[in-house]
């Protein structure tokens, strides 16, 4: 099983925005500030994300209820785990603010795209997908390793086949140049 990564904290948002879009930390935080302060929409002036300077993966209980309802209505039943996913915060985290997340999971990137510029939409989509995926079921993989010995050499090949996509149907972290996934926090 591969469990979903937690919602973003400041450092993981900056890392993922750099890997995915080449955004500097300064640009990421400037765009996040715009999304936090809000934009004019058909609903009026609306803040699209929670506070973006946080080291906590904690999520408000009402937001958990809302995102679980959204997953239940928009994805197959197997995508919703029996109970919410909770993430352990890092040792020494202040936990003053909750994780970075959309103010409403039902406010999809498509539904707000007309109000956002390109950078805002990219960052909002990243935050939205990561948050929704964090409350989805784990992915299930079949893994196989083959060792081959030929004279004095040994070779190893590994592979995996996805049996159930789980959260990866919505979100997968970008990979570093060395082919490894980014550290989710």
111 closest CA partner among 166, 68, 74, 63: 74
3-state secondary structure of 57: coil
Helix (H) or strand (E) holding 60: none
78 closest CA partner among 7, 170, 160, 164: 164
67 closest CA partner among 16, 40, 124, 106: 106
- Tell me what pLDDT residue 95 has: 65
- Tell me what pLDDT residue 174 has: 78
58 closest CA partner among 134, 124, 109, 113: 134
- Tell me what pLDDT residue 176 has: 63
- Tell me what pLDDT residue 183 has: 40
**Which residues are catalytic, by number?**
51
Q: Please give the Cα distance from 102 to 50 (Å, whole number).
A: 6
- Tell me what pLDDT residue 97 has: 84
pLDDT in tens, the chain (185 residues): 999 999 999 999 999 999 999 999 999 999 999 999 999 999 999 999 999 999 999 999 999 999 999 999 999 999 999 999 999 876 666 667 899 999 999 999 999 999 999 999 999 999 999 999 999 999 999 999 999 999 999 999 999 999 999 999 999 987 765 444 444 33
In contact, 54 and 9? CB cutoff 8 Å: yes
């Amino acid at each position: 099983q591969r469990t979903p990564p937690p919602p973003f904290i400041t450092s993981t948002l900056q890392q993922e925005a750099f890997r995915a879009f080449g955004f500097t930390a300064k640009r990421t935080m400037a765009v996040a500030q715009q999304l936090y302060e809000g934009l004019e929409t058909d609903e009026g002036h609306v803040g699209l994300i929670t506070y973006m300077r946080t080291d906590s993966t904690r999520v408000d209980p009402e937001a958990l209820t809302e995102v679980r309802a959204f997953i239940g209505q928009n994805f197959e039943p197997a995508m919703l785990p029996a109970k919410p996913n909770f993430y352990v915060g890092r040792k020494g985290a202040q936990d003053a603010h909750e994780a970075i997340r959309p103010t409403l999971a039902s406010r999809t990137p498509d539904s707000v795209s007309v109000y956002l510029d390109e950078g805002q939409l990219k960052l909002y989509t990243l935050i939205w997908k990561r948050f929704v995926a964090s409350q989805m079921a784990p992915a299930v993989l079949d893994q196989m390793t083959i060792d081959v010995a030929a004279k004095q050499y040994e070779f190893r090949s590994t592979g995996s086949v996805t049996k159930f996509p789980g959260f990866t149907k919505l979100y997968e972290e970008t990979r570093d140049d060395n082919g490894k996934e980014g550290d989710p926090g």
